[in-house]
Amino acid sequence: MGETAVFSKYHRAITTTYVPMASGFFQSCTVGFSDIDNIPHSMILSSCTTYYEVWWEAKLKGNNMDKQGLKGIPELASLMEDADHIDIKIVEANCNMRQFIAGMFNYYPSWIKNLYRIRWGFVRLLGMKQEGIPQKMAMRPEDVAMDAGEQATIFKVSCAKEDHYWVAGASESHLTAYLGVVVEPLATTNRFHVITIVHYHKWTGPVYFNVIRPFHHIVVANMAKAGVANSANLQSIERAS
C-alpha cells in the first residue's frame, strides 16, 4: 500500500471512528463537569490528526529522527526496549529546550483538570487509586528539573542533557509511562520530538491505557503546540527581566 493510501486510511479512521468516540466519551462524562462541554469538536479532530499529519510530513521531509534515530541515544534506547507503546509528536519552534518544556507544562486548561477528575473514578474501578489532582503551575525555563531523580510536576526525571534531550517518568502499579523531549537542531530553528513510552506491569495496564489512549493523543498534541506558543511568551518575559 502506498504512503498516500496509508495516510488516507488513517485520516478516515480518525474522522469516522476516533473523533466520534472521543466526543462521545466527553459528552457521557459531563455530569458536574460543564467545562468539558466547551471542548470544540474541531479541536478534537485537529488534535487527533496532528500525529498522523506530522508522521506524513516527516515522511515527505525525510526526517532523520524517527524511532530508530531516537534509539541512537543510549539513555532513550534502554527505555524504548520492549516498550508496549511508543508515539512521537513533532513540532518546530524558535526556542531552546527549557523554554519549550516550560511552555508545555504551563498548558493546563480546565478540561484537562476535569479529565483527572474522571480518571479518579475510572482507576477506582480497576482497583487503583489517584493521589489527588495536579494543580496549575507557572513553570519558568530555569525551573525545569534536569537532574535524575528530581521531581518535575507529576513526573520524576530519568535522564537529561541540556538542549539535547529530557526524559521523565511516572510509575504506578499498572504501568510506567515516560514523557520525553528530544531536540533536533535545524538551520534556523529547533525540531522537538515529544515522545511517550509506556511499559505495562499487569493486565490493568493495557486496559487502562487503551481507554485513555484517544485523550492521551489529544493532551500531548496540545501540550506540544503550547510548548511552541508559550515559549514565545517566556522569551519575552526573559528579555524584559
For residue 213, count CB atoms less than 10 angstroms from its CB and return exposed for 0-12, middle for 13-18, buried for 19 or more: middle
Three cell numbers written together for 42? 474541531
Q: What band does 36 get if pLDDT is binned at 50, 70 and 90?
A: very low
pLDDT beyond 90 at 24? no
- DSSP assignment of 166-228 equals EEEEEE-SSEEEEEEEEEEE-SSSEEEEEEEEEEE-STHHHHHHHHHHHHHHHHHHHHHHHHH
Domain boundaries of the chain, sorted by first residue: 64-240
What's residue 235's pLDDT? 58
pLDDT beyond 70 at 79? yes
- pTM of the prediction? 0.71
Indicate the average pLDDT of the chain. 74
* Top CATH class, 64-240: alpha beta
Three cell numbers written together for 70? 531516537
Range of lowest pLDDT (25-29, 156-160, 183-187, 200-204) = 25-29
Q: What band does 89 get if pLDDT is binned at 50, 70 and 90?
A: very high
What's residue 150's pLDDT? 95
Cα 91 to Cα 75: distance, rounded to the nearest angstrom: 22
